Chains A and B, each alone.
Chain A
Amino acid sequence: MYKILDKVDYSDDVYMQVIEAPAVARAARAGQFVILRIHEEGERIPLTIADFDREKGTVTIVVQAVGKSTRHLQTLSGGETLANFIGPLGLPSEIENFGTVIMAGGGVGVAPIYPIARELKDAGNKVISILAARTKHLLLWEDKMRDISDEVIVTTDDGSYGRKCLVTEPLKELCEAGGVDLVYAIGPGIMMKFCCKTTEPLGVRTLVSLNSIMVDGTGMCGACRVSVGGETKFVCVEGPEFDGHQVDFDELMSRQRQYLEQEKIANDLYLECRGDAQCLA
């Protein structure tokens, strides 16, 4: 059993949890992910690590509730436990002094970009962060990102905060101005796809972190496979980070929708019962 030490709701459906998992925290590095399971009947949920503290033995995750399991997870607060918490999984980010890097985070994608940005900053890079959200109150971790960035640009779809535009607009301006050595784009598939479409003609290397469907997360099942440069790769052992210009995002997004029908059944049942164990049984 793994204890939840803290839970903070950022909005109706976005929340942060700090989990006590010393073995995972000890080995965790930026860019890796974990898999958790809430209870004995639960599914294995992959989530990118948002932060970790080796001394305290904790790992932080930031989650958007989209289906039954992530909604259920949101109801668990500090003191409650998870059945399983496995990791760190996947390959860590390559950290070196690239020069100037742009860290583009969309929605909850800002959270996993944070530890990578922090390490890139420590390695001597100039870090320019673009934080994108639909609207002001959904913007995550602005303060944390400001602490480790040389420059922060905020965009919102509705203009309620920062620039009213999509993440790709400042990304394009910065890349066109030149001097950008690397771009990291993490967020929903569609956001990463368009970030890559923006940087590709400008020849700026762009890394993305893919969140495909997984079961074991150790290479055993192949659920997470994705086409990269025309070759099939397993996100869990060869990723989660890939050269975004090589990724087949349409295939990735199609594969992410594989269980929509079942997810709806589970979610409807859950909402109807509001987590009442007897009703669910």
Chain B
Amino acid sequence: MPGVNKDKGAKKPKKTSIPRTPIPEQDAKKRAGNFDEVALGYNRDQALIEASRCLQCKKPKCVAGCPVNIDIPQFIKALEEDDPAAAIAILKQKTSFPAVCGRVCPQEDQCEKLCILGRKHEPVAIGRLERYAADWEAAQGEAAKPGIAAGKGKKVGVVGSGPAGLTCAGELAKQGYDVTIYEALHKPGGVLVYGIPEFRLPKQIVQRECDYVESLGVEIRLDHVIGRTMTVDEMLENGHDAVFIANGAGLPMFMNIPGENFNGVYSANEFLTRANLMKSYRFPDYDTPIKIGKRVAVIGGGNVAMDAARTALRLGAQVHLVYRRSMDELPARREEVHHAQEEGIEFHLLTNPVRIIGDQEGWVEEIEVIKMELGEPDLSGRRRPVPVEGSETRIPVDVVIMAIGTRANPLLTQSTKNLELNKWGNIVADEHTLATSKEGVFAGGDIVTGAATVILAMGAGKIAARSIDRYLRGQPLLTPEEEEEIRAASDKAAAASK
């Protein structure tokens, strides 16, 4: 009753006085020995309390921080009213994969960073609420299917079934296009299956999202390496009216220090692919072997480094994380760093490998590292680490995992005619339309941006779907209003830089 609130005695607690609801987690000691999910998710009561913290801002800042512009206050309002079905419907207007986004998005740098509540208190746990809504839906059985427009009689080929490809394919299928995804590996999902470990994103969830996209009428053709089994030009010649290239980042980088080809040196991609995609943590039930190591050094400080370190730990190793800058510059999500520390990973900060030392048989024995100190800021704005002369020490290890990034995979791009690349080999695509230099071909995700996040790739998938739809209707890729908006934004940015 509206009148009741006037009675001061029955007043609800102030929203700002409710603390952010912690998410239940598996105990650190216990989870260090298994691959089960770390965060267990909110129950109904926790979700209701957390949802009630949202201020329901008239001009919400959080939405602008979301790469796919989810109507965050609205879905949270639905949760507050204990209507998860309505919440999931609001989420799905903008994201096809809330169960994934709720788990792996860096909300602290996006929506939650801009939450008004976060200025004086802690921000609303938007990601955890998104996950709650998605998991509620999964528990109901089959996902509600959106309406699918009548067939348009046009065929679109999507290269890669990672977050960008799945998103684009799902959007276009809903609009009545005939979409086929070509996936190089034997399982769909891209980085969601080969890269992100089970304990952060259960593979069952990825499978469910892929099943959902297939249920919209998308065909996922596995074992098809575009650039080898078929080229992009052949796709266009063989009946595809448009192509979206979202084949991911590609080749792992190494440091070019002595000893990197000793046995026991892995790229993070290889280590994680063996463990995640090939399930070698269940060897010999699964055939693919992995060298576990008693003492493992992981080089790098990104999310991939944390994933590799925590996977090695779960396989039974004592893990040393070696990062050349300090904790402040560590690019991984705070939550992942915190989890890694809790689980017992030893951090060697301001430390950089110099060489890897091997034994007679060619196996890794030690890694020589040097202390670093922070100098002047570099191009990225972070202070450049400089080696401290004479500070070399050695860490005895039998496995080294390099998690220092990837470079563009040349396999597809080199086999495609008239496709403009930048000097690093990434595809050049218009940032607002994702159109490439090649007629009818669009590109997005890591192959354009270099290694980035799942949600940015999903955002690219959505833009590509919008562009491809307009392209196939013979419309301009941007409306006059959108062009105006872009012009205004760039004028504003130019003015700001003056």
A interface residue numbers (CB < 8 A to B): 23-24, 27, 32, 37, 41-44, 68-69, 83-89, 215-216, 218-223, 225-227, 232, 234, 237, 251, 254-255, 257-259, 262-263, 265-266, 269, 281
Contact = CB atoms under 8 A, between A and B. Distances in A.
18 contacts: A37-B186, A41-B279, A41-B286, A42-B287, A43-B289, A44-B186, A84-B223, A86-B229, A215-B288, A219-B409, A220-B248, A220-B251, A221-B267, A221-B273, A222-B266, A255-B261, A258-B264, A262-B290
Nearest to A223: B270
Contact of B254 (A221, A232, A254, A281): A232
Interface of B: 184-186, 194, 222-225, 228-230, 248, 250-252, 254, 256, 260-261, 263-264, 266-267, 269-270, 273-274, 278-279, 283-291, 361-362, 409-411
Residue among B270, B274, B291 with most chain A CB within 10 A: B270
A191 B334 CA distance: 52
A254 B362 contact: yes
B394 to A, nearest CB: 22
Nearest to B225: A218
A88 B260 CA distance: 29
B275 to A, nearest CB: 11
B229 A24 contact: yes
A47 B283 CA distance: 22
Nearest to A69: B287
B251 A216 contact: no
Top 5 closest pairs, chain A to chain B, by CB? A262-B289, A221-B270, A254-B362, A43-B287, A222-B267
Nearest to A224: B270
Given A42-B287, A251-B362, A89 B252 contact: no
A219 B251 contact: yes
A254 B251 contact: no
Contacts of B283: 262, 266
B229 A254 contact: no
A87 B274 CA distance: 20
Contact of B185 (A85, A216, A226, A259): A216
A221 B269 CA distance: 5
Given A37-B186, A251-B261, 15 more contacts: A23-B224, A23-B229, A32-B228, A41-B286, A44-B288, A83-B186, A85-B223, A86-B184, A216-B273, A220-B194, A220-B252, A221-B252, A221-B274, A255-B261, A259-B291
Nearest to B221: A23
Given A251-B261, A258-B263, A265-B284, A222 B225 contact: no
Contacts of A225: 254, 261
Contacts, number: 122
Contacts of A281: 285
Contact of B251 (A23, A44, A237): A237
A222 B252 contact: yes
Nearest to B247: A218
Contacts of A262: 283-284, 289-290
Contacts of A234: 251
Contacts of A266: 283-284, 287, 289
Given A23-B224, A89-B225, A220 B250 contact: yes
B184 A218 contact: yes
Given A215-B288, A232-B260, A237 B267 contact: no
A215 B274 contact: yes
A218 B261 contact: no
Given A215-B273, A221-B273, A266-B284, A44 B278 contact: yes
A236 to B, nearest CB: 9
Contacts of A251: 261, 362
A234 B256 CA distance: 14
A251 B284 CA distance: 27
A86 B362 contact: no
A119 B289 CA distance: 37
B176 to A, nearest CB: 27
B448 to A, nearest CB: 17
A218 B409 contact: yes
A20 to B, nearest CB: 13
Contacts of B252: 220-222
B229 A222 contact: no
Given A218-B409, A221-B269, A259-B291, A88 B228 contact: yes
Residue among A218, A223, A226 with most chain B CB within 10 A: A218
A85 B441 CA distance: 28
Contacts of A222: 251-252, 254, 266-267, 269-270
Nearest to B358: A254
A232 B356 CA distance: 15
A84 B229 CA distance: 14
Contacts of B409: 218-220, 237
A31 B263 CA distance: 27
Contacts of A27: 228-230
Nearest to A256: B263
B263 to A, nearest CB: 5
A219 B267 contact: no
A155 B127 CA distance: 68
A88 B267 CA distance: 24
B292 to A, nearest CB: 10
Contacts of A257: 263
B220 to A, nearest CB: 14
A234 B410 CA distance: 12
A255 B223 CA distance: 26
A41 B250 contact: no
Contacts of A83: 186
Contacts of B278: 43-44, 215
A106 to B, nearest CB: 23
Nearest to A270: B284
Nearest to B185: A216
Contact of A259 (B194, B273, B289): B289
A207 B229 CA distance: 24
A44 B410 CA distance: 22
A181 B283 CA distance: 47
Given A42-B287, A88-B229, A259-B289, A215 B251 contact: no
Contacts of B279: 41
A24 B194 CA distance: 23
Contacts of B289: 43, 259, 262-263, 266
Contacts of A237: 251, 409-411
Nearest to A257: B263
Nearest to B224: A23
Nearest to A265: B284
Contacts of A23: 224, 229-230
Nearest to A238: B410
B228 A87 contact: yes
A258 B228 contact: no
Contact of A86 (B186, B264, B410): B186
